[in-house]
Structure 1
C-alpha cells in the first residue's frame, strides 16, 4: 500500500464513521452509540505521525466535514459530562464510582498532574489562586487542582452546566468549597488575582479562542501563567486548536504534545513581566 493510498483510505474510514454517527436517530449515551464514538476516536489516535496526519487532514472530504465533526464532538462531550455528573450526584459513593467506573479518570489525573508540575516549575512566584475557564458539568480538572491545595474558581458561560459542576464538587469534596462563576470569560475583567488560568480544550472555536487569548492578556497580571489545552495532528478534527503563534503576545514557556491516550496537548505561556 502506498503512502497516498493509506492516507486516502484512512480519510475514507473517518468520513464513513462520522456518517454512521450522524445517522443516529438521537444523540444520547447508549452502549451502541458509545461504540460508534469509540471506533471514530480510535481513527484519530495521537500515535499517527505528523506527515500522515497532515495528508489525511488535507483530503477534501475531511476538510468539508471538519466543522461538523468539531460541533458534534462538542455536543457529545457536553452530553457525556452531564450524564456522568448526574450519575455522580445521585450515587451514594460518588468517589468510588468516579475512580472505578469513569473511563477517563486516570487521564484527568495524569494530565492535570503534568500541568500542575509544569506550572510550579515555571513559576517565578508561589502559585495559589487559579481560574478554570470552561469548567463544565464535570469539573474533574478543578477537583484535581483543589486536591493539590490550590484555591480554585470555576467559570462557565453555560449556567446549567456550571450548577451541575457545583453539585458534583459538593458530592465529591463536601469538605472543601470552590467558587463557581457564571459569565462569558471575555466579560470577566477581574483577572489580576489569579496566578494561573486554565483554558479548557472545548472553549470556543478558533475565532473565539483568539478573542479569549487577547482578553486574557489584557486583564491578567504580569507574570501570571496561562495553561491552554489544545490538539495537534488528527485530534484537531475534535478540538478547535491553537498553536504557538496564536498565544502571542504571551510568551510560550512549554509545549507538550501527547502521543499516548491523552486527548489534549498542552501549551503553557506567561504574560511577560
Structure 2
C-alpha cells in the first residue's frame, strides 16, 4: 500500500474516532472515556513522519473536522486538568497524589526541564523573572519553574481555573509567593519586567496567536525570551499551531520537534536587543 492509500485509511480512522467521541452522551472524565480519548490521541502521534502526516492532513474530510477536533480537545483538556486539580487540592497527601497518581507527571517534568535548560543556555544574562500565560487549573509548568529557582507570575483569562490553579500551588508549595493574574494577555501591561514569557499551547487560536505575538513583542523588553508551545504534523489537529514565520519580528533561537512521547513542539525566540 503506497503512502497516499495509507494516509487515506488513517484519515478515515481519525474521522471515525472523532465522530465516536462526539457521539458520547456526556464529555466526562471516566475510565471508559479516557480509554477512548487515548486511542484517538494515538492516531495523532508525533511518531508519524512528515510525508505521511502531510498526506493525512491534506484529506478534505480531515480539514473539515479540524476546528471541531481542536475545540473538543480544548474542552477535554480543561476538564481533565480541573479533575486532577480538584483531586490534588482535596488530597491529604497532595504531593504523593501528583507524583504517584497523575499519569503525565513525569512527562511534564521532562518537557519543562528541557525548556528550562534551553532558556538558561540561550540567555546572555541570568534568567530570574518569568510569566506563564495560560497557567490553567493544573499549573505544573509553573511549579516546575518555581522549583528550579525562578520567580513566577501566572496569568489566565479564565478566573475559576486561575483560582483553582492557585489552590493547587498552595497545596503543593505552601511558601511559593507566586502571583496569579486574571487578565487577557492582550490587555496585560508591565511585561518588560519579565526575562522569559511562556505561552501555553492552548492559548488562543491561530488568528488570536498572531495578535498575542504582536502584543508581546511591543511590550517585552529587548533581550527577553519567548517560549511558545506549539504542534507539528498530526498534532496540529489538536493544538492551534504557530510556526517560526509566525513569530516575526521575534528572532527564532531554538526549534525542538520530538518524535516520541507525544511531546509538544517548542519554539524559543528573543526580542532583539
TM-score, reference length from structure 1: 0.99
1:68 paired with 2:71, answer no
Question: Partner of 1:185 in structure 2?
Answer: 185
Q: Give the superposition deviation at 1:263.
A: 3.1
Matched-pair contact (CA < 8 Å) for 1:250–1:271: yes
TM-score, reference length from structure 2: 0.99
Question: Partner of 1:144 in structure 2?
Answer: 144
Could you say what secondary structure the match of 1:192 adopts?
A: helix
Distance 2:261 2:102 in 1: 15
Q: Give the superposition deviation at 1:3.
A: 1.5
Question: Partner of 1:42 in structure 2?
Answer: 42
Question: Partner of 1:129 in structure 2?
Answer: 129
Q: Give the superposition deviation at 1:177.
A: 2.2
Could you say what secondary structure the match of 2:204 adopts?
A: coil
List gaps (5 residues or longer) in structure 1.
none
Query: Where do residues 56-135 of structure 1 align in structure 2 (5 Å cutoff)?
Result: 56-135=56-135
Question: Partner of 2:197 in structure 1?
Answer: 197
1:147–1:177 CA distance, 2 compared to 1 (3 A): same
Which has the larger displacement, 172-181 or 17-26? Answer: 172-181
Distance 1:265 1:222 in 2: 24
1:26 paired with 2:15, answer no
Distance 1:19 1:263 in 2: 25
Distance 1:150 1:122 in 2: 16
Matched-pair contact (CA < 8 Å) for 1:111–1:262: no
List gaps (5 residues or longer) in structure 2.
none
Question: Partner of 2:3 in structure 1?
Answer: 3
Report runs of 4+ in structure 1 exceeding 6 Å deviation.
Answer: none
Matched-pair contact (CA < 8 Å) for 1:153–1:180: yes
Q: Give the superposition deviation at 1:262.
A: 3.6
Matched-pair contact (CA < 8 Å) for 1:107–1:262: no
- Pairwise CA RMSD: 0.6
Q: Give the superposition deviation at 1:176.
A: 1.9
